[in-house]
Structure 1
């Protein structure tokens, strides 16, 4: 072998060695799957996970860290968890949450759970955001929330002692941008699954309801009484929401147009997303504007407080009578049933705590 041939052979070996080292250095995140409750597996189809944001252990862990980190806000004082407290089923106790500048919005902070089954992909009270990722993008720039700029947030994350490594582990990229931040947060939020209430256990044959809770469920399902199931699901829909938008007779005229402001269609004015009835024990106040502080007030609204308007939902069949006119006992029993949908394990799950 000539000297030139030896040189070329050694160079080839060096290139192969370097190439192998680079391949070995590539970090492959660990695939993760959702912990789907038994009842969900029986009653509803599997959640759809975006192909461009698959769940990984590293991505979920990064999303959790970001969710609880006030670094996302302008002055490093407010995190996602500031308005979405795990102990309150990822909402808070105030009617309107205040932002970093002390400003208040006009809507109640929505709880966060079972988001992976929102198949129509419209999020927020008015359906403005069309994915969890897009929803996670908005609060950072909102002047009445975190009031920051993404260029400032990503700069802080890039200069942080830990985050570049965590993004490298989760996405194979150490250069941080808003897309990766919101992907990570969305991964964590998809793991927020609530499916172990007393009523869930009852349906699985593992718990017994009281006579009041059973009657409350019957009131809920009875079209001549509560007539609640059309919008809020049933024993065959463990999400306890249809994830659609309705005008439920709160107002005769609208200061907040809801879905109508998003679609521009006047037929959508006054329509808001149906919230899940899970975890009502923890999520007061209620409605899109937090106007009701107790479940009694909510039940009274549907019983005798409905207001007619041009876009009132046809499901509000007794609006001309003010509501469904429940007896005092049926009201109390309905409340007992609704509270049986609360999931203590969810609000105490260490996987969801800071």
Structure 2
């Protein structure tokens, strides 16, 4: 027979089989913030296994700013995607853990719900799969999702937050990715001066309107257009064709871009067409940050596009500039396009508290 003290200790150490597992209420459905103005296309279908919920989006926002998702605890998603810079970082090349430099610039995170593929080369086709890439990439955050899940399981109230969002306090890799994707789908910009002009709330200046007209015009005999709309559709200003070679390099390409993913020769040198919302704040420009200003970008498309086997032919299609076919804008036209591009700045998006650090 055990001494009385040991008997009670042994009983106390037995697991209580009658204690029920923690249960959570179903998360609260969240309506997608669809812009209420004419002409907007429908976003991509929402994943059936990851609908938007209030709890999921709130958790994703917190994870977006969580530095413990990186190997050394110094970098979060927001380190390379800063709200004040339209979710870019102002660098030509992103900087990861231990000061390592990425080979490409950080893309702006805006209106992602309309995109079919992600990253400069389109290597992933959902926000859920895309989120894994920077988290585990050795030159970005360099931490396996399994390790991140283990760390979060012991960190603060994360188990409770995951329980509220997904019904279980056991943190999984998939649920980390789902929460991040939910938050990123809500990063919607639709309140720039351009948008407000479309809603009849303000009027564009003469230069801004002239820039919009150039942006939206295809060159024909006696008609000079800037051809921008072929790749950047209005009103969303997102990419129509997803990928293009915009003539910044000639073969052989230091970075194969989309061709490095597909292995197709016709895609070598092509990159994802970025959304132009808040473009005045996302310098430097291109996949390698080679242009410091929008003026340089406009000059490139007007005068300096390089011909390569995969360069988009629309950039050499102006019949008024034979034999080069270049766009060849004059100084006034360049100034007008610049004025229009500045109307795409959405200051409410840059300061919206729903997208900011929940624990500043």
Q: Same fold (TM over 0.5)?
A: yes
1:177-199, Cα deviation, whole Å (9 max, x unpaired): 21110100000000000001101
Match of 2:14 in 1: none
Root-mean-square deviation (CA, aligned residues, Å) is: 1.8
Match of 1:232 in 2: 232
Structure 1 position 220 matched with structure 2 position 207: no
After TM superposition, the structure 1 = structure 2 runs for residues 6-85 of structure 1, keeping only pairs within 5 Å, are: 25-39=23-37, 42-85=39-82
The 1:49/1:136 distance shift into structure 2, 3 A limit, reads same
After TM superposition, the structure 1 = structure 2 runs for residues 161-176 of structure 1, keeping only pairs within 5 Å, are: 161-176=156-171
User: Distance between the aligned counterparts of 1:100 and 1:144, measured in 2?
Assistant: 7
TM-score, normalised to structure 1, is 0.89
Q: Following TM superposition, by how much is the alpha carbon of 1:98 offset from its aligned partner in structure 2, in angstroms?
A: 0.8
Structure 1 position 334 matched with structure 2 position 332: no
- Structure richer in helix, relative to its length: 1
1:278-336, Cα deviation, whole Å (9 max, x unpaired): 10121111111111110000000001111011111122224973831100000001000
The 1:22/1:152 distance shift into structure 2, 3 A limit, reads closer
Structure 1 position 153 matched with structure 2 position 153: no
User: Distance between the aligned counterparts of 2:238 and 2:86, measured in 1?
Assistant: 15
Structure 1 position 302 matched with structure 2 position 301: yes
Structure 2: which 5+ runs fail to align? 1-17, 220-224
Out of 340, 352, 357, the position equivalent to 1:349 is 352
Q: Following TM superposition, by how much is the alpha carbon of 1:138 offset from its aligned partner in structure 2, in angstroms?
A: 1.1
Match of 2:285 in 1: 286
Please say if residues 24 and 164 of structure 2, whose CA atoms lie closer than 8 Å, have aligned partners that are also in contact: no
Structure 1 position 263 matched with structure 2 position 262: yes
User: Distance between the aligned counterparts of 2:341 and 2:207, measured in 1?
Assistant: 11
User: Distance between the aligned counterparts of 1:91 and 1:353, measured in 2?
Assistant: 14
Structure 1 position 210 matched with structure 2 position 205: yes
Match of 2:8 in 1: none
1:204-233, Cα deviation, whole Å (9 max, x unpaired): 111100000011111112222311111111
2:209 aligned counterpart, secondary structure? helix
1:138 aligned counterpart, secondary structure? helix
Structure 1 position 324 matched with structure 2 position 327: yes
User: Distance between the aligned counterparts of 1:164 and 1:280, measured in 2?
Assistant: 38
1:87-145, Cα deviation, whole Å (9 max, x unpaired): 11111111111111211111110000111111xx2111100011101111111211110
User: Distance between the aligned counterparts of 2:39 and 2:299, measured in 1?
Assistant: 34
1:52-84, Cα deviation, whole Å (9 max, x unpaired): 101111100100000001010001100000000
Structure 1 position 127 matched with structure 2 position 122: yes
Please say if residues 219 and 227 of structure 1, whose CA atoms lie closer than 8 Å, have aligned partners that are also in contact: yes
User: Distance between the aligned counterparts of 2:201 and 2:179, measured in 1?
Assistant: 36
Q: Following TM superposition, by how much is the alpha carbon of 1:151 offset from its aligned partner in structure 2, in angstroms?
A: 2.3
TM-score, normalised to structure 2, is 0.88
Out of 215, 240, 257, the position equivalent to 1:242 is 240
User: Distance between the aligned counterparts of 1:64 and 1:278, measured in 2?
Assistant: 21
Aligned length: 330
User: Distance between the aligned counterparts of 1:42 and 1:211, measured in 2?
Assistant: 23
Q: Report which stretch shifted further, 22-31 or 211-220.
A: 22-31
Structure 1: which 5+ runs fail to align? 1-17
